[in-house]
Amino acid sequence: MVEVVPAVLVKSRGELLDSIARVKGSVSAVHIDMMDNEFVPNKTIGLGGLAELPNGVSYEFHWMVKNPERWIAKIKGKHLHLVHVETINRESWGTLKRICAKSGCRLGLVLNPETGIGKLEPYMKDASRVLVMAVHPGFYGQRYIPDVEAKIRALRAKFPKLEIEVDGGVNPETARRACGAGANVLAAASAVYSAKNPREAIKNISAAGCAKTVGGE
C-alpha cells in the first residue's frame, strides 16, 4: 500500500490546527514543514506552535533548518524527524541519535534534488526513512522534477525494505511515477489542501500510487 501524508506549511498555530482537522480521520500521519529562513528562504511556524498537538494522528517533522539537532532537542514525543543530509555531519548525527534514544523518536534523512544517494552512506543504518525531494524545498506549488525518479529507483534497488517518501509536486499523475520508481510514501501539499475535498484528494492520490507496483515502469 502507498501511504499519503498531507504536508502542512503554515506560519501560525491556528492554521496548523485547521490543516490537521481537515484531514484527521483520513490519514495516519501529518507532515509538518519546519523552515528557519536560513537553510531555505522561507520561515514557518515556530516551536511554540507545536505544543500539545491533537491526538489521533502521528506527526513527521521535515526540518528544513540549519542545525536540526538544536530544534529536535526541544520537541517531545515519539515523532518521525526528517533531517536534510545537507545539514548534518557525523557529530550532529550522533547528537540526533542520542536525542531520539531518550525521547523514543525516529530519524529519517532527506535529499535535495541535486544531492546524490552516496551522501546518505554514513547514516543509513540508523535511518528509518529516506525522503526524496522532487522540488527545491521552501515553497508550495512547485512542479515535480522527474529526474529524481532515477534516485528513487537506485534507493529501492539498494534498500528493498526501506521506507521511501517523495515530497514535492505530488498529485495523482506524479504519484504514479514516483511509486512506479519505488516510493511507498507520498507527502502531498497543494494537491490536498487546494482541493475542494481534501479527503477525496487523498484517496485519489493513494489510488493512483497503488496502481503502480514498486519498481515498475
Q: Is the four-CA dihedral 141, 147, 153, 158 of positive or negative sign? A: negative
Separation of alpha carbons 211 and 214, rounded Å = 10
- Angstrom distances, CA of residue 117 to CA of 19, 80, 135: 32, 20, 16
**CA dist., res. 67 & res. 189, Å (int):** 25
Place of cell 525518479: 149
Strands (E), 56-105: 58-64, 80-84
What residues act catalytically?
A: 33, 167
Instruction: Please list, in sequence order, all residues whose beta carbon lies within 8 angstroms of the beta carbon of residue 101, skipping any fewer than 6 positions away.
Output: none
Task: Give ∠ CA 87-50-170 in degrees, rounded to 5.
Answer: 60
Instruction: Look up residue 23 and give its three cell numbers.
Output: 484531514
CA 176 to chain centre: 18
